[in-house]
Copies of this chain bind each other. A is one copy, B any other.
């Protein structure tokens, strides 16, 4: 079959708040081929990702993403990798391209899974998808008391693991950060898996980050996530040498598999966190999962939006039994909560299971798309390059 169309939709909440919550808008991708439809999502700026899809060519290595996708053959799994390689070559100098490609690659896997009648994880070579232990992923409260309440709520909801991040953490003093971490541990209980996310707040400043290690050890945090910008390899490596038994986690900012491999090979991370909506999709994420396994590093999904993104993020390591924990956004905004007809929720044993149905196993709800759809138009030299596409159904 040939790829007939790639459409990107800009969805958002009526109000977008200035907080570290990526579930407030969505870059939804629809690919059509052979009478089938595949869906994907980029964890990226919708307008900028649309521009990367449709922008006029600047030169032979700065072409719009659509130019390397629409019209291509999609018959076998290998075609997905070929299309991704073509995008990376023809859009080499188009920085946003890898974010746009992410949603397309995911939609191609969904589509070919539907075509072949198999779930994506099986097409990736996994005989089965193991249950994952979800951690509740929430923002720190503005105060330790709020964080305590959030941690208690996570525990009451049946979570055995929880991650607290962003908000005030790393923006005040060492004592304030300690109080936040202690409150999280208290609320989660003695046995819960506690994860702390610094959201790159220290740039590449190892000394300032290291001041938080004692409190993290005291609270028995399993990892400290993203102390630094994804590119600050030396800072990662230096902190990792001093942080035991707290591991360093990172990688969500990787927009190609090289960046993630560098964190594994040169950055000393114990957990590599990959967002399939940013790294270029499921294809490069699977390559990172394989590399991590060989290097003895644990793979974890990164995701903070819809069930569609969640399902995509779990595929690359679905069959890796020992890499057990997974991120589950537990405070998504209505748009992200309601985007798909299906929701993925932990079972009675607290574990999360991927659908066995073909493709990703989840489908966006046309009525919800329409409800949150943002009318968008881009004109260049009198020509409409993009106008919000129609939604069927």
Which A residues fall within an 8 A CB radius of B? 10, 12, 16-22, 24-25, 43-48, 50-52, 54-62, 85, 88-89, 92-96, 98-99, 166, 199-200, 203, 229, 231-234, 253, 255-256, 258-259, 261-262, 265-266, 278, 374-382, 385
Contact = CB atoms under 8 A, between A and B. Distances in A.
Nearest to A55: B47
- What is the oligomeric copy number? 2
B93 A45 contact: yes
B377 A379 contact: yes
A337 to B, nearest CB: 16
A24 B57 CA distance: 10
24 contacts: A19-B60, A22-B59, A25-B59, A44-B93, A45-B58, A45-B62, A45-B93, A46-B58, A48-B94, A48-B95, A48-B96, A50-B51, A51-B96, A52-B96, A92-B229, A93-B278, A95-B99, A231-B262, A233-B262, A234-B265, A262-B262, A374-B380, A374-B381, A378-B378
Nearest to A65: B48
> Which 5 residue pairs are nearest across A and B when measured between Cβ atoms?
A231-B258, A51-B51, A96-B96, A47-B55, A48-B51
Contacts of A47: 51, 54-56, 378, 380, 385
Given A20-B60, A44-B58, 10 more contacts: A18-B60, A22-B62, A44-B94, A46-B55, A47-B378, A48-B94, A95-B255, A229-B256, A375-B379, A376-B380
Contacts of A256: 229, 231
Contacts of A22: 58-59, 62, 93
Contact of A229 (B10, B51, B88, B380): B88
Nearest to A16: B57
A229 B258 contact: yes
Nearest to A387: B379
Nearest to A230: B258
A116 B206 CA distance: 35
Contacts of A60: 18-21, 166
Contacts of A381: 374-376
**Max count, chain B CB within 10 A of own CB: residue among A45, A99, A256:** A45
A48 B16 CA distance: 22
Contacts of A43: 93
A276 B24 CA distance: 34
Given A229-B88, A231-B259, A19 B59 contact: yes
A57 B45 CA distance: 8
A48 B59 contact: no
Nearest to A27: B58
B59 A16 contact: yes
